[in-house]
Amino acid sequence: MRWTRNVRVGAVLAAAVLGLTACGGGDDAAAPAAQSKGGAPIVVASFNFTDSLILAELYANALEAKGYPITRKLNLGSRELIYPALKSGELQFIPEYQGAAITTGFGKEAAKDAEGEHAQLKKLFEADGIGLLDYSPAEDKNTYIVKADLAKEKGLAKISDLSKVDNVVVAGGPECEKRLPCFKGFTDVYKLKATFQTVQEAGPRVEQLRSGKVTVIPVDSVSPLVGDPQFVALEDDLAIVPTENVVPAVNKKVLDERGADFAAAVNAVSKALDTVQLRELNKRVDSDGEKPADVAKDWLKEKSLI
């Protein structure tokens, strides 16, 4: 799951972001499709992390293949910058994560299931002229991992099993300590006797876990570490982390003007993607050094979506 600060800044800040040359894709459209649908380009945006870039490229390329003109504004940053631009229409399409959008974007407590979150987020976005299309089975949410040898020794399969471990140390970014889906959930919901250690960067955090200096760390569910045999991902048996299904948030004017064919093209991408596949695409970019646009096109071809 992706945490950012609450969205409570003015349009001036958003405009400043949009004025920057976007990294990881820029705002240039790809070559026009053979049978262009015409009209103004649809402005597709992304947050500034790998799977958001990949998702934006998945949807953008699928739409371009159907003839829709696309402008990319990628790698833009956090919700506090992006949401005002979505509201104004400067940005028109972003792949969102349902739970984080509700809790961080709107400061509300999220429903406990994907369908409930979808209905909740749809209502929250409605006043800003933003609609939602279908949510995907794919998620990117906080997942907690421990070393495999410790899991085997202590019989750890769920977060609640950490009660079997003496001196539980959770390492995470500074925001983790006071957030319910992170350390606060360990102490307040799971009632674990645990201490927190701030480790800002993901790389050093993993090294602390490998060395045994910390017990458990949060990683994204699309991280290759989740499938690494050196680690065990613990089940969140008391559900402190909301579901984080990917969902396209789209300007309502675009939805109305572009109609059912547009929605169908987007929904087909969402339906075909799952967390395991998104994790593999992430790995190809983060570990293998491939470009988000390239891995997106490969996947779309494999699924016969372009």
pLDDT at 85 over 50: yes
pLDDT at 6 over 50: no
Residue 146: predicted pLDDT:
98
Q: Which of 20-29, 50-59, 215-224 has the lowest mean pLDDT?
A: 20-29
Q: Beta 142-147 vs 217-220: how paired, if at all?
A: antiparallel
What average pLDDT does this structure show over 184-212?
94
Choose from 10-19, 131-140, 223-232 the range with maximum mean pLDDT: 131-140
| DSSP state string for 3-63 | ----S---HHHHHHHHHSPPTTSTT---SPPTT---SSPEEEE--SSHHHHHHHHHHHHHH
Contact, 215 vs 162, CB < 8 A? yes
pLDDT at 24 over 50: no
Residue 34: predicted pLDDT:
46
Contact, 112 vs 64, CB < 8 A? no
Phi, psi of 21 (to 5 degrees): -70, 120
Per residue, the 3-state secondary structure of 190-241, as one string, reads CCCCEEEEECCCHHHHHHHHHHCCCCEEEEECCCHHHHCCCEEEEECCCCCC
165-190: burial string, b at 16+ Cβ within 10 Å, e else: beebbbbbbeebeebbbbbebbbebb
pLDDT at 7 over 50: no
The reported pTM is: 0.80
pLDDT at 216 over 70: yes
The model's pLDDT over 150-175, given as tens digits with 9 standing for 90+, comes to: 999 999 999 999 999 999 999 998 88
Q: Beta 130-132 vs 246-251: how paired, if at all?
A: antiparallel
The model's pLDDT over 245-275, given as tens digits with 9 standing for 90+, comes to: 999 999 999 999 999 999 999 999 999 999 9
pLDDT band at 25 (very low <50, low <70, confident <90, very high): very low
Q: Residue 19: CA atoms inside 13 Å, Cβ hemisphere, count?
A: 6
Average pLDDT for the chain: 89
pLDDT band at 77 (very low <50, low <70, confident <90, very high): confident
Q: Which of 2-6, 211-215, 288-292, 301-305 has the lowest mean pLDDT?
A: 2-6
What average pLDDT does this structure show over 71-88?
92
Rg (CA), the chain: 20
